[in-house]
Structure 1
Amino acid sequence: MQLLSFKSLLATAAALACAAVSAQEQVVKIGHSGPLSGPNTFAGRDNDNGVRLAIEELNARKISVGGKTLKFELVSEDDQCDAKTGVAVAQKFVDSGVRYVMGPYCSGVTIPASRVYDNGGTLVSTVGTNPKITQSGYKNLFRIVASDVQAGASMAAYAANVLKAKKVGVIDDRTAFGQGLADEFAKEAQKLGMTVAGREFTNDKATDFMAILTTFKAKQPEAIFYGGYAPQAAPMARQMKQLGVRAKLLGGDTLCSPEMGKLGGDAVNDVVYCAYAGMLMDSDAGAKAFQEKFAKRFGQNPDVYSPFYYDQVINIGEAMQKSGSIDPAKVGAYIHQNAHKGVMGEYAYDDKGNRIKAPVVVMTFEGGKAKPLASY
């Protein structure tokens, strides 16, 4: 009996100790909505790692708000870059009390899901680039990269002023991201005096572009702009080489992914040009340090967007500390009013949640790896 009583006392003491610790902690869930399956899995998992690395660092800092130490927890969901799935993920996050969400990755998911998040009082930080995303007036929605307007215009300027293109073709994958980006490129190309020789369409599951490319080969544009993702752009570059299409293949920052070199081989070298919405890793000490830290933690270099996800999670954590609150409304107001210096430059937002002066770098490929050419 005495032994049982002693064990009981130990159990009670342990339970009280745990209760005391939990009373001094405040759990903050950070959701991540992205493609964790399908052709863009590489991007979704990279973004997930960016969020994870930031959460680990914030937890190590032991940030205190209201006398309690914040304990950040990552909750990831696969939205498959599908609008219906993404809306269901958004509702799941809202219903389970997740008030901070990183993503979605795809504009076509972000546009419908953002209404659910806004109704649920959730702060959203997306890399969706379609201009429509921030035109709905949601107060706590932030675009953490350059928009299609910035990226498309930068690529058009490079095509006109550096590549000296007079005639361009335009292809998009009919997604909100791809079509929006292609629209902005075409609009700016015409402003700069270039002729848009044709506008063709595909989809984000396609692998055969021979018919489209044969059409453009006959029109002989100096450049073809593709609004879409790397899993389609890489085989497109291969098929351009097979057909003897001499045009350059241009695109947004999704084409700056290392996946282009992996999937496209030598067909991408000095042919693919992309507008990367960020700073150059090797030319900035802070960005290079992040790259090394990321590689050490995950065994691979970061892809396109993980540095932005990392920056914004750190921004959110510091905003909680400085505002003295974990309320998304107060944290969002603080982020709107105060700039944050991160790996990918300064994060300052306009009243619609667009990032002000987001850096854009035009890159090409050499030896299967992206190489910087010009900054905008």
Structure 2
Amino acid sequence: MSLVRIIATALSLLSACAFAQERQVVKLGFSSPLSGPQAAAGKDALNGVQMGIERLNQQNLQLDGKAIRFELLVRDDKASAQEGAAVARELVAAGVRAVLGPFNSGVALSAAKIYNDAGVVALTVASNPKVTQTSLPQVFRIAASDTDMGGKMAFYAARHLKLKRVAIIEDGSPYARGLTDEFERVAKMNGVQLVYKEAVGDKLEEFGAALGAVVAAKADAIFFGGYAPQGSALLRQMQQHGMPIALLGGDALCSSAMLAQAGSALGNRTYCVQGGVWLTRVSDGAVFASAYQGKYGSAPDVYAPTFYDGVLLLWQAMKSANSPDPRVFAPVLARMRYKGVTATYEFNPRHDMTESTVTILRFKDGKLTPLSSF
């Protein structure tokens, strides 16, 4: 009996080894800022990706008769276009099949063609409309574009906040330009007067001159195109200058970094717009938020659920194509429809989402409160 057990154990080990040898590793890349002023946003996105990969790797998935395991290669692009291009070349050389990211529009604009020409699928949340083009069939936007976010925030500002005179301050980045251009266009269409506009650069820390011009122009609100660290500084200085007017911004301001860095300066007059439906308003979103809280000890920030969805979206495309080859599953991804945590993912010919719902939010009593989704 002992000999039989030994033989059985040996056979079992041989079978396990054979299974392990057949297991196929599918490499995915991640590119976002993990250091510098925007590190909090990048780490939140990374948390979402890792949750998605952990979920898939727990399911013993198979493609074309072979067991597969997903492996994530994480890179810090530092929110730099130059660094993002270098990261793209590195991930391509490492053999990734798809990339989650980049996060920033400027980075995406520099990296998109590199991924596309290498046949690697890129799922980005970068909002500048120029990121997605019909000439880049491997690049997909999995969040709302500036056209949706800037335009719908302008519509809300005119119709619901009843604003009449708005100033624009922006950091000069591709993200900010796309966002503010759309805000300005739709605001004017809805009777809002633009009384002041300035690109201050993304390194400016002292807004005194710009705020003085805003006061002189008698603006009843400022629309800020930029990221949370500068937005927080702007809010603090608005408070110091005794400016009780509203501050509006894009999705980059819908961040816990604003709560941490702006403090009491947030008041109840700070608004932002985020792609998708607010997590707690949909059952799947509430489940995700609870799981994220349990794993990381904090609530998910802006794009963790979107990047989580991106991982599962990639798997669904691979599964439908029965292949991890991006040149095979990318055409399937382009025509599929997938319901995720915060959005339904379906793409138009440019590979923008056909359903781009956004949510307008307000900072109130130290937290983000959803006001309207449309």
- Of residues 59, 62, 66, the one that matches 1:61 is 59
2:300 is equivalent to residue 302 of structure 1: yes
Letter in 2 for 1:204: D
Partner residue, 2:68: 70
Partner residue, 1:257: 255
Partner residue, 1:6: none
Aligned-pair RMSD on alpha carbons?
Answer: 1.6
Letter in 2 for 1:74: L
Q: How does 1:298-337 map to 2 (within 5 A)?
A: 298-337=296-335
Distance (Å, rounded) in 2 between the aligned partners of 1:375 and 1:279: 6
Partner residue, 1:162: 160
Letter in 2 for 1:347: Y
Conservation of the 8 A alpha-carbon contact between 2:133 and 2:351: no
Distance (Å, rounded) in 2 between the aligned partners of 1:283 and 1:134: 29
Partner residue, 1:363: 361
Alpha-carbon deviation of 1:218?
Answer: 1.1
Partner residue, 2:92: 94
- Of residues 8, 23, 26, the one that matches 2:24 is 26
Q: How does 1:170-189 map to 2 (within 5 A)?
A: 170-189=168-187
Distance (Å, rounded) in 2 between the aligned partners of 1:116 and 1:182: 27
Partner residue, 1:350: 348
Alpha-carbon deviation of 1:13?
Answer: 9.6
Distance (Å, rounded) in 2 between the aligned partners of 1:275 and 1:358: 12
Letter in 2 for 1:108: G
CA distances 1:154-209 after superposition (whole Å, capped 9, x unpaired): 11011111111111101110111012111111111111121111111122233221
Q: How does 1:1-376 map to 2 (within 5 A)?
A: 20-135=18-133, 137-376=135-374
- Secondary structure of the residue aligned to 2:223 is strand
Letter in 2 for 1:91: R
Alpha-carbon deviation of 1:283?
Answer: 1.7
Conservation of the 8 A alpha-carbon contact between 1:273 and 1:365: yes
Partner residue, 1:4: none
Conservation of the 8 A alpha-carbon contact between 2:134 and 2:349: no
Distance (Å, rounded) in 2 between the aligned partners of 1:369 and 1:274: 12
Question: Where in structure 2 are there 5+ consecutive unaligned residues?
Answer: 1-9
Distance (Å, rounded) in 2 between the aligned partners of 1:144 and 1:66: 27
Using the size of structure 2 for normalisation, the TM-score is: 0.94
Distance (Å, rounded) in 2 between the aligned partners of 1:14 and 1:104: 44
Conservation of the 8 A alpha-carbon contact between 1:260 and 1:368: no
Percentage identity across paired residues of the two chains: 39
Question: Where in structure 1 are there 5+ consecutive unaligned residues?
Answer: 1-11
CA distances 1:23-50 after superposition (whole Å, capped 9, x unpaired): 3211011100010100000011111111
Conservation of the 8 A alpha-carbon contact between 2:268 and 2:365: no
Count of residue pairs the alignment pairs up: 365
Alpha-carbon deviation of 1:18?
Answer: 7.0
Using the size of structure 1 for normalisation, the TM-score is: 0.94
Conservation of the 8 A alpha-carbon contact between 2:144 and 2:275: yes
Alpha-carbon deviation of 1:262?
Answer: 1.0
- Secondary structure of the residue aligned to 2:356 is coil
- Secondary structure of the residue aligned to 1:250 is strand
Partner residue, 1:5: none
Letter in 2 for 1:43: A
Distance (Å, rounded) in 2 between the aligned partners of 1:73 and 1:19: 20
Distance (Å, rounded) in 2 between the aligned partners of 1:270 and 1:276: 18
